[in-house]
Amino acid sequence: MSEFLTIGEPIALFGSEEVDKSLKDALHFQKFLAGAEVNVAVGVSRLGHSSEYITQVGKDPFGEFIIDRLHENKIGTDYISETADFWTAFQLKDRVSDGDPSIFYFRKGSAAAHFEKEILDKIDFSEVKMAHLSGIFPAISPAAQSAFRYLIELLEKNQIRTTFDPNLRPQLWASTEEMVETINDLASHAEIVLPGINEGEILMGSRDPEAIADFYLNNGSATKTVIVKLGTEGAFVKQKDGSSYTVPGFKVAEVVDTVGAGDGFAVGLITALIEGKELEEAVVRANAIGAMAVQSPGDNDGYPTPEQLAAFLQNQKVK
């Protein structure tokens, strides 16, 4: 039984250790556990909350690597199936001195893409306080999207609070139009929607945080809160009752890798809400973990323990 659960595709990530060298030319890589939703599960667990991850992996070295890393991070694997018929996804990521790194996926037809939704009937929701959903898993295959929608039904039936991060991956969709229509439909089922400002422009045509928030607040009756991620500027929050405010971000000395910052934001928000903290305090934590995430090379290596988080926040106050 867990306080938190999420569904996604875990990936074995090979991150280049050579700065500003193309993936074609790089020779030295380090292997990490990756995948947006698994990043969130890692972060939630690291902050001391019980966490379950739902997926399917192949019976192969990458699948074994992923299961081992999940166990190391104290993430439950009760709802992970294994198959010998399909392989576990992996990806390559370069290392850059500025901007976002390039990523190359090997995931089409993967084990997770053949996930069968029947395993969802085994979930024990009795202790679950929050679930995190993202737009990636429903993009990888029709089977995954079917399972994703079924999980939404179960979450609604069990009255579980949900966060939804669009996490746009255009390369996984047949067209931009299909991506926009599907993501916005799925977002309408979530209590808290977490678009980035760039995602807002793609999904509803504006970079204005308030316009983005208004769109998602009117997108579905389930949505009570929209938090628009503004990068280094922090986050804009608007609620169904019309109240709104901006929570400023944190300055960091060096940006090593931007991948995983948005997932870190979700970690901070979710864990604070599980702990019963007020929304504004939760967004402060979300901004803090997003800032900590960009200072490490792995997708989730920068996510803190409670002690590391407390030290980071204290250090910011001292400044």
Catalytic residues: 263
Residue for token pair 């969709």: 173
Burial of 106 (0-12, 13-18, 19+ CB in 10 A): middle
- φ, ψ dihedrals at 92, nearest 5°: -115, 140
**Contact by Cβ (8 Å): 174, 145:** no
Strand pairing class (4-7; 51-58): parallel
CA distances from 70 to 39, 94, 178 (A): 10, 24, 32
Residue for token pair 């400044």: 319
Burial of 207 (0-12, 13-18, 19+ CB in 10 A): exposed
Residue for token pair 């000395």: 253
The region that residue 68 occupies, defined by phi over 0 for left and psi between -120 and 50 for alpha, beta otherwise, is alpha
> Hey, is 165 helix, strand or coil?
strand
The single-letter code of the amino acid at 279 is: L
Q: Which two tokens stand for residue 250?
A: 């944190």
The single-letter code of the amino acid at 281 is: E
How many whole angstroms separate alpha carbon 218 and alpha carbon 4?
27
CA distances from 258 to 50, 99, 206 (A): 26, 8, 23
Q: State the Rg of the chain over Cα.
A: 18
**Sign of the CA dihedral running 280, 281, 285, 288:** positive
